[in-house]
Amino acid sequence: MIQDEDFKVSRRGVLLGGVATTAIASTLSPTSSAQTSLPQVEPVSLRFTVNGQSRELMLDTRVTLLDALREHLDLTGTKKGCDHGQCGACTVIVNGQRINSCLSLAVMHEGDEVTTIEGLGTPENMHPMQAAFVKHDGYQCGYCTPGQICSAVSVLEEIKAGIPSHVTEDITAEVGMTNDEMRERMSGNICRCGAYSNILDAMSEVAGEIA
Amino acid sequence: MKFIKPAQQNPIDQGRVVGKPTTRIDGPLKTTGTAVYSYEWKDVAPNAAYGFVVGAAVPTGRIRSFDLAAAQEAPGVLDIVTYKNAGPLGLGDFNTAPLLGGPKITHYHQAVALVIAETFEQARAAAGLVKVDYARGEGVYELSDQKDSADPTDAAPDSSQGDFQSAFERAAVKIDETYETANHAHAMMEPHATIAVWEGDELTVWSSNQMVEWGRQDIAKTLKISPDKVRLVAPYIGGGFGGKLFVRADAILAALGAKLVQRPVKVVLQRPLIFNNTVHRPSTIQRIRLGASQDGNITSVAHETWSGDLEGGGPEASTQASRPAYAGENRLMQTRLAVLNLPEGNAMRAPGDMPGSIAIEVAMDELAEKLGIDPVEFRVMNDTQVNPDDGKPFSRRKLVECLQRGASEFGWEKRPSPPASKRDGRWLVGMGVAAAIRGGPATKSAARVRLESSGKLVVETDMTDIGTGSYTILAQTAAEMLGLPLEQVEVRLGDSSFPVSAGSGGQWGATSSTSGVYAACVELREKVRMALGLNAEAELNFADGSVSDGSAERPLTDALATGPLEAEGEIDFESRGDDHSYFTFGAHFVEIGVDVHTAEIRIRRMLAVCDAGRIFNPVSARSQVIGGMTMGAGAALLEDLHVDARQGFFANHDLASYEVPVHMDIPHQECIFLDGDDPLASPMKGSGVGELGICGVSAAIGNAIYNATGIRVREHPITLDKLLDQMPEPV
Amino acid sequence: MRPFTYERATSPADAVSKAAGRRNVKFIAGGTNLLDLMKLEIETPTHLIDISGTGLDQIEPTEDGGLRIGALVSNTALAADPRIRRDYGVLSRALVAGASGQLRNKATTGGNLLQRTRCPYFYDTNMACNKREPNSGCAAIGGFSRQLGVVGTSNACIATHPSDMAVAMRVLDAVVETQMPDGATRSIPIAEFYELPGGAPYIETVLEPAEMITAVTLPKPIGGKHIYRKVRDRASYAFAIVSVAAVLQPDGSGRFACGGLAPQPWRVEAAEQLLPQGASAAAQRLLRDAQPTEGNRYKLKLAERTLAAVLAEARS
């Protein structure tokens, strides 16, 4: 099936995959002579602000925000744990809201303001949440940690903003800065090392200071 | 340096740095995103191409043919590695399944190709065009079906003492129950990842690996090159839990790919591939028979375990958990290994002990109940200071103290009795206990220490920090030995150009690698003595940046007149001897709630009391223990790689469908360490606790569920579907 | 992920006109499900139309006292809206029971309705799946089916619909508003929005090519006690094994629908009539035509007990 309409660039004269083909699955689709290849992707420009700095990139449309940060801007503090929205290691803050950067196309962030772990603080000048994580040993291997911290900072904001959660007792009432509220809201950030209890201690300390 | 036991008074005993709660020295890097993990070494390979792995679509069989034309022609593609162009490959000492499959396929998602392209997006898309024609082979996948054909294994020989059979027959009170544990995934947060760079015939890999020297050797063996030509670098590792003990496909394929395209290549195993491509903790079936006298003395213990692996693989040695656990002179330990065509089974945090502890510690609960004895008391009664398995005294065994301290701290006396008698709102509430027992091994470990003219002390060893806190305890050790503040010590880890360490595994890392740094520091102290011409007979005292022989005190920097002072040292535990058994001990206490309607299970409280002699850093040791408790909670309640025996694979192969605990699953966790030293263990007088915390915790949860509901589930994980049929009607 | 071209739409009309006539196009907004599936080449669009700038991010009152929720309103914003919390609590509850905070910040109302199944065989392109590849078979039947459907399924597909939000929408009698390329609009009651799998599980909704969801409207509030009870092994960040969305009135009457059981939010009005008789009668009617597998038969009992829990909560 040819999908010429979507690609203006020449495509080495080969066919593009159709709607529901799955090329990996040889058990389902034994080798056929009708092999298809892929068209060239024309880069798309992106201008956005990352950690306060204006950045401009020309990107393959398929590049995720996560890979734009890691592979194109060398901001490797944001981690790729699963690349499928199932672990939270890639959490960054976009326009004030935390998101999974792995499930977001970079080109959809034109004009956005992105804050990554590098934008929160540095080893010499840590954000209070970063310092609290160190103090309470809220991490072990460190791989989920940037995502945990970006989430933790956002979670305190979300509670303050009165956004309800699954554990909010009365959904029409104000939301309290409770342990359960923090644990529930942090549940999209998996820590396989099991630092959860310490992360909560770190967050509680910061929450106490800002309350 | 040979470790001569018992360790005598030594500088570590000062306890100025070692043993003090110390936040991690790598903390500021890890919390700011500036610690560099394997896939992130931009500067060493700025022009790296991207590799994307294609996994086998069948669990067994052969590749009949590849059709790579479309993938080769896809934009950006540089080349494709398959067995056809990889050249002959060896099999690493620690691998069971070849890391590059073809023509024979050994397991589902075994790597069969690496597509290399200019960008990640191009490589991934082209990988989707790789067509492989397989002749699917026959295979067997269910352990329960293969149980009767399972064989004894040299990796875990059977043993017996006394006459189990007749003692068990005579026992006044006994249980005979069978337990099952599931296949578990390590699911560390950093996927396996490697950057490979060739310079001539020399290969450097930045690869996420717990055991740098094993990795270097196995990469060389697999690629059929000299180990001298391989350098492995792994200063930061995003979790391992045993899943990164050995070389995996990312490293081999990156190296092959970099050779093929003549430029650096980086490869990360995509998450949905990892569960079947790499290794897992094999499921087990375990039969426990325990016999006791009427007054509760155990007379007979039998632990039989079955597990499966690929041809040539090893067992999940679950009897390990019962061997040192409790008294009882008549014993039978049996391990059977079946051949399965699932992905490779291998070590995961506390291999053997973790699933074994589920069986023996639930069985203890069952027997205690039958005897009408409190399960804490029953364990205390059957404590032994001599390992019943080998007849040697334990170097240190404070299990009774852990149990009693825990019972008191946890409020064990409030445990609901009888079972299913306490309700709190929508929850049935119960408490459970179990012992934690895990070996305290130690192994050869070397380090290099260098006092630089700036006054900085640099420690170099190929030891890894997989979240364990190695950086910090090694810095503490060196600081203690040289009388320097912690900030003046820089620790460099995870590079095969550094002296060979014990590496991170089997809970041996902490005591071995600190002892290696201790040994190196002993050498360096001697060099300082010579450089300063201090009294050769006197005991030196290093403190506050100075050294004194009792008569003269000199600043350490005076020793650097002719340049930096450097020393290497190695600790050798060969002589630790055959006259003691080395273990660590603990006790887990858990309170859980089970929803009266839905049988959802939620943990309410967790406490571990642990003892391993001197705790080098209570901060990171505590984290190790609570991390083990968290992973054990997953095994108890969630984690189960489901075998689809028709397809021959683990069906739930991503992080959405293989559920590991999240924040909401884990309550506040308490961890208490007993005070005291174990001078028989090492010069550091303590052992690691990286695996102690996971032993027994799942059993404690299972026992708590029984206490809450009166329902005994012997198949872990205990999920609500296993309780529902027996749940009482809610009132 | 297959290559695709990308453009931004400025309005719903612009979006549907850009999509009109194209064969392999997808609208993208939050992207939290679509990109996941594109990475695995389960979805392989060759053109994406970014509708995030089409302005459909408002929640407004309707003339009949209900609310119109723009298709782009995020799950977080919808759950937090004071009107939703006050008058449609079951919807707010269902939203916050789903996914994670990060995902809810991106996921949209329209996209949530169109989430695809989490069946592990749908997710593995080596496996036969009639939903992913028409007429290739179903590896889930006879496979690992603990999470999969027990009712409304067919011998071609036993997948479930994963949304929590849609279950609440179903119980609230929401209406899906769409726009077509020819300028026409449709109002599709949610009861008619989803298609059962039958022999064609790849057809999941009644949406036509290039038809775009613009809003979901809620009828005027019906009062009652609003409960969303989600049962899962993991305490959070997990799909439902069984969920119950219910609006229960003081007289014992009410409405309920279930998630985790079927290819779509599962509501049987005849079962609601039996609510005053208790959970057992209502659940049995709800699941009268169930065809569970050995691996998911427990869901029948679980559904009944979850409904009992909901009724108990309503009484308390």
Per-residue pLDDT tens over the stretch B536-546:
999 999 999 99
Backbone φ and ψ of B413, nearest 5°: -65, -15
Rounded average pLDDT over C67-83: 98
From A12, A118, A182, residue closest to B32, measured CB to CB? A118
Same domain as A126, residue A156:
yes
Q: Are residues B192 and B80 in the same domain?
A: yes
Residues from chain B that touch C139, judged by Cβ atoms under 8 A, are 644, 646-647
A64 in a structural domain: yes
Are residues A108 and C28, on separate chains, in Cβ contact within 8 Å? yes
Does the pLDDT of residue A26 top 70, yes or no?
no
For residue B631, what is the nearest residue in chain A, using CA coordinates?
A194
Q: Are residues A136 and A126 in the same domain?
A: yes
Chains that contact C by 3+ CB pairs under 8 Å?
Answer: A, B
Q: What percent of chain B has pLDDT over 70?
A: 100
Same domain, B430 and B474: no
**For residue C89, which residues of chain A lie inside 8 Å, CB to CB?**
171-172
Q: Is the ipTM of this complex over 0.85?
A: yes
CB–CB of A188 and C31 under 8 A? no
Is the pLDDT confidence value at A14 over 80? no
β-bridge partners, A58: A45
Interface of B with A in 590-629 (CB under 8 A): 619-620, 622-624, 626-629
Give yes or no: residues B504 and B598 share one domain: no
* Distance (Å) from the alpha carbon of C26 to chain B's nearest alpha carbon: 18
Same domain, B626 and B644: yes
Smallest CA–CA distance, residue A172 to chain B, in Å, is 22
CB proximity list for A173: less than 8 A, separation 6 or greater: none
Pairing type for strands C242-248 and C254-259 reads: antiparallel
> Which token pair is B117?
């392209």
Express as a percent the part of chain C with pLDDT over 70: 100
Instruction: Answer yes or no: do A137 and A108 share one domain.
Output: no
Chain B residues touching residue A167 (CB < 8 angstroms) = 664
**Is A21 within a domain?**
no
B595 CB neighbours in chain C (<8 A) are 309
Q: How far apart (Å, rounded) are the C-alpha atoms in residues B252 and B256?
A: 6
- Residue B700 domain-assigned (yes or no): yes
Contact state of B662 with C235 under an 8 Å Cβ cutoff: yes
| Last residue within a domain, chosen from A67, A87, A120 | A120
Looking at the DSSP assignment, which residues form a beta bridge with residue B551?
Answer: none
- Looking at residue B575, its pLDDT comes to 85
Asked whether residue B125 falls in the same domain as residue B248, the answer is yes
CB-CB neighbors (< 8 A) of A142 in chain B:
26, 29-31, 35, 236, 238, 467
Length of chain A: 211
Report CB contact under 8 Å: A14, B29. no
Say if residue A172 is in the same domain as residue A104.
Answer: no
Label residue A6 by pLDDT band (50, 70, 90). Answer: low
Same domain, A93 and A129: no
pLDDT of residue A209: 82
B473 part of a folded domain: yes
* B650 assigned to some structural domain: yes
Does B118 lie at the interface with C, CB-CB under 8 angstroms?
A: no
Q: Is residue B236 part of a domain?
A: yes
Q: Which two tokens stand for residue B14?
A: 């000062």
Determine the residue of chain B that is closest to A138 in CA distance. Answer: B623
Total number of domains in chain A: 2
Structure confidence at residue A5 (pLDDT)? 55
Q: Provide the 8-state DSSP code for C12.
A: H
B77: pLDDT strictly greater than 50: yes
Of A105, A120, A135, which one is at a domain's C-terminal end? A120
A96: closest CA of chain C, how far (Å):
10
Residues B496 and B513 in one domain: yes
Whether A25 maps to a domain, the answer reads no
Reply yes or no on whether the pLDDT at A33 is more than 90: no
Write out the residue range of the structural domain in which residue A171 sits.
121-211
Q: Does domain C5-52 have CATH number 2.60.260.40?
A: no
Residue of chain A whose alpha carbon sits nearest to that of B43: A74
Residue A70: DSSP 8-state: I
CATH number at residue B492: 3.30.365.10
At C5 the pLDDT is: 97
Find the mean pLDDT for residues B323-331.
Answer: 98
Residue A156 has pLDDT above 80, yes or no: yes
Q: Indicate yes or no: CB of B121 within 8 angstroms of CB of C234.
A: no
List every span in chain C annotated with CATH 3.30.43.10: 5-52
Answer whether residue A5 is part of any domain.
no
Q: Is the pLDDT of residue A3 over 80?
A: no
The answer to whether residue B557 is domain-embedded is yes
- Residue pair B74/A37 in contact (Cβ under 8 Å)? The answer is yes
Taking a C-beta distance cutoff of 8 angstroms, is the pair C171, C268 a contact? no
Domain end among B571, B603, B627: B571
What's the whole-number mean pLDDT along residues C69-87?
Answer: 98
Residue B398 falls within a domain, yes or no? yes
Do B133 and B259 sit in the same domain of this protein? yes
Q: What residue spans in chain C does CATH classification 3.30.390.50 cover?
A: 225-315
Residues C151-181: tens digit of each pLDDT: 999 999 999 999 999 999 999 999 999 999 9
Q: What 3 state SS string does A106-122 have?
A: HHHHCCCEEECHHHHCC
pLDDT band at A23 (very low <50, low <70, confident <90, very high): very low
**Which pair of structure tokens corresponds to residue B163?**
């006459």
User: Is residue B603 located within the same domain as residue B717?
Assistant: yes
Residue of C1, C35, C101 lying closest to A155 (CB–CB)? C101
Q: What is the pLDDT of residues B366-385, one digit of tens each?
A: 999 999 999 999 999 999 99
**CB–CB of B12/B18 below 8 Å?**
yes
Q: Are residues B410 and B452 in the same domain?
A: no
φ/ψ bin of C110: left (φ > 0), alpha (ψ from -120 to 50), beta (otherwise): alpha
- Check residues B344 and A1 and name the one with the higher pLDDT: B344
CA distance A58 to chain C (A): 13
Q: Is residue B122 part of a domain?
A: yes
Q: What is the pLDDT of residue B577?
A: 75
Active site residue B691: yes
Interface of C with B (CB under 8 A): 1-3, 39-41, 118, 120-121, 123-124, 126-127, 139, 142-144, 146-147, 231-239, 241-242, 298, 301-302, 305-306, 308-309, 312
Q: B634 in contact with C at a CB cutoff of 8 Å?
A: no
Question: Which residues from A are below 8 Å from C6, CB to CB?
Answer: 44, 61, 105, 107
B530 and B671 within one domain:
no
**CB distance A187–C237 less than 8 Å?**
yes
Find tokens 């054990």 and name the residue. Answer: B632
Helix (H, G, I), strand (E, B) or coil at C279: helix
Angle between helices B470-482 and B509-532 (to 10 degrees): 30
In chain B, residues 99-128 whose CB comes closer than 8 Å to chain A: 119-122, 125-128
**Same structural domain, A104 and A183:** no
Residue in chain C closest to A109 (alpha carbons) equals C52
Say if A112 falls within a structural domain.
yes
Of A64, A163, A188, nearest to C103 by CB-CB distance is A188
| Residue range of the domain that includes B506 | 443-571
**Contacts B654 to C, Cβ<8 Å:** 123
pLDDT at A24 over 50: no
Instruction: Clarify whether residues A104 and A142 are in a common domain.
Output: no
pLDDT in tens, C199-221: 999 999 999 999 999 999 999 99
Domain C225-315 is found in CATH 3.40.50.300: no
* CATH number for the domain harbouring residue A140: 1.10.150.120
Q: From CA C223, how far away is CA C249, in angstroms rounded? A: 8
Same domain assignment for residues A193 and A111: no
User: What is the number of structural domains in chain B?
Assistant: 3
Which residue of the set B190, B304, B568, B691 is catalytic? B691
Identify residue B564 by its one-letter amino acid code. Answer: P
In a domain, A20, yes or no: no
Q: Of B571, B595, B619, at which residue does a domain stop?
A: B571
User: Is A93 found in the same domain as A54?
Assistant: yes
pLDDT band at B730 (very low <50, low <70, confident <90, very high): confident
- Cross-chain CB nearest to B129 (options A37, A62, A63): A37
Contact between B31 and A130 using a beta-carbon 8 Å cutoff: yes
Say if residue B197 is in the same domain as residue B79: yes
Average pLDDT over residues A119-138: 98
Q: Within a domain: residue B105?
A: yes
**What's the average model confidence in pLDDT over B463-488?**
98
Average pLDDT over residues B580-602: 98
Question: In this predicted structure, what is the pLDDT of residue A21?
Answer: 31
pLDDT digits (tens, 9 = 90+) for A178-201: 999 999 999 999 999 999 999 999
**pLDDT(A28) > 90:** no
Distances in whole angstroms, Cα of residue B160 to Cα of each of A14, B330, B335: 69, 7, 12
* Residue at A182 is within a domain: yes
pLDDT at A146: 98
Q: Is B28–A82 a contact, with Cβ atoms under 8 angstroms apart?
A: no
Q: Are residues B592 and B717 in the same domain?
A: yes
CA C79 to chain centre: 15
Instruction: Write the pLDDT tens digit of every residue in B207-258.
Output: 999 999 999 999 999 999 999 999 999 999 999 999 999 999 999 999 999 9
- Kindly state the average pLDDT of the residues B302-324: 98
Residue A56, domain CATH: 3.10.20.30
| Interface probe, candidates C118, C122, C227, C233, chain B, greatest B C-beta count within 10 A | C233
Rounded to an integer, the average pLDDT of B338-359 is: 98
Q: Which residues in chain A are closer than 8 Å to B470, comparing Cβ atoms? A: none
* Average confidence score pLDDT of chain B: 97
At B492-522, the pLDDT tens digits run 999 999 999 999 999 999 999 999 999 999 9
Beta-carbon separation of A91 and C102 below 8 A: yes
Residue at A22 is within a domain: no
Summarize the confidence of residues A137-155 as an average pLDDT.
98
Domain boundary among B276, B304, B331: B276
3-state secondary structure (DSSP) of residue C161: coil
Q: For position C152, what pLDDT does the model report?
A: 98
Considering chain B, what percentage of its residues have pLDDT values greater than 90?
Answer: 99
Output the CA–CA distances (angstroms, integers) from residue C61 to B482, C185, C203, in the order listed: 74, 19, 32
- Which of A120, A141, A157 corresponds to the end of one domain? A120
